[in-house]
Homo-oligomer: A and B are copies of this chain.
Amino acid sequence: MELRTLRYFVAVADELHFGRAAARLHMSQPPLSRAIKQLETEVGAALFDRSPAGVALTPVGAVLLDEARALLDQADRLRVRVAAAAGTAVITVGFLGDTADPGATRLADAYRRLHPQVEVRIRETDLTDPTCGLHAGLVDVALTRGPFDETGLTVRELRADPVGALVRADDPLAGRDSVKLADLADRRWFLFPEGTDPVWQSYWNGGAPREGPVVRAVQECRQAVLWNGTVGMTLLDHEQADGLAVVPLIDMPPSRVVVAWNEGDTNPLIRSFVRTAIAAYQDGAPTSGAA
């Protein structure tokens, strides 16, 4: 009954699927099956019902899941506290500039309250790197907005914001209840500045390369929209500027505020940050800011 085994168990209990759990644990499925079987032998009871229909927790498994989660959490806290005592408790958090919102504020407050001895370093980035330096190892964890290249990263969604078309108030679309991407097909679009992450650009351009006036930053779209017929996209609840309108885009996937870290990074400060982030974004009304 080692912590490693319990982490395996929790992964399977979360996924209710041995293959996916193994992938999440960066291992292959057979050793995972074996480890769970050994755990069941040790406990003296089955933890999962393996039916052809799928995997389900037994009552004993449910008890173990509760206890194991609590134990693993405490193990994380142990590591944080010891790291704090050793003076090595440092976490570098990357923020995408415009993600600053009440959720982020609550997150920062809650995290500093939870781990007062932890030194939190902030690194703010622009659209050239929505991962805020995760791939380059410049930060431990990133609070940012998708989409971006997620290879090698683990990503947890904190919030999904619906997206709307940003047009001039006198645009024919401005009065509509909703629009589709096809309605914008023949328009000129705002582009992103040189160096903007291609995945990000592709998303905010409706999935296709576009032509249009280049704007220096997302926030300046409002000036650029003075060109008649030019469109962009923005968050649906974006605060309105004079002369502009936002119309819901019903066939765009929502924009996701996420927390991300390098896959396989077991730093408990990160895990604690992620848990805190999820909690901070669960309560409180969302506000925002993006293109």
Contacts and interface: CB of A to CB of B under 8 A. Distances in A.
A214 interface: no
B67 A71 contact: no
Interface stretch (A82-90, A252-260, A283-291): A82-90
7 contacts: A2-B3, A43-B83, A60-B85, A64-B78, A67-B81, A71-B71, A71-B78
Interface string A1-32: 11110000000000000000000000000000
Given A45-B82, A60-B86, A67-B77, 15 more contacts: A1-B3, A1-B75, A1-B79, A43-B82, A43-B83, A43-B86, A44-B83, A44-B86, A45-B85, A45-B87, A63-B82, A64-B78, A64-B82, A70-B78, A71-B74
A71 B75 contact: yes
Interface of A: 1-4, 43-45, 59-60, 63-64, 67-68, 70-71, 74-75, 77-79, 81-83, 85-88
A2 B4 contact: yes
Nearest to A82: B64
A188 to B, nearest CB: 55
Contacts of A43: 82-83, 86, 88
Interface of A is mostly: helix
Contacts of A1: 3, 75, 78-79
A70 B63 contact: no
Given A3-B1, A45-B88, A68 B74 contact: no
Contacts of A79: 1
B45 A86 contact: yes
A35 to B, nearest CB: 14
A270 to B, nearest CB: 15
Nearest to A78: B67
A135 B71 CA distance: 34
A225 B82 CA distance: 63
A44 B89 CA distance: 10
Contacts of A4: 2
Contacts of A82: 43, 45, 60, 63-64, 67
A64 B83 CA distance: 9
A68 B59 CA distance: 29
A269 to B, nearest CB: 13
Contacts of A75: 1, 71
A83 B45 CA distance: 9
Contacts of A3: 1-3
A86 B58 CA distance: 10
Contacts of A83: 43-44
Nearest to A77: B67
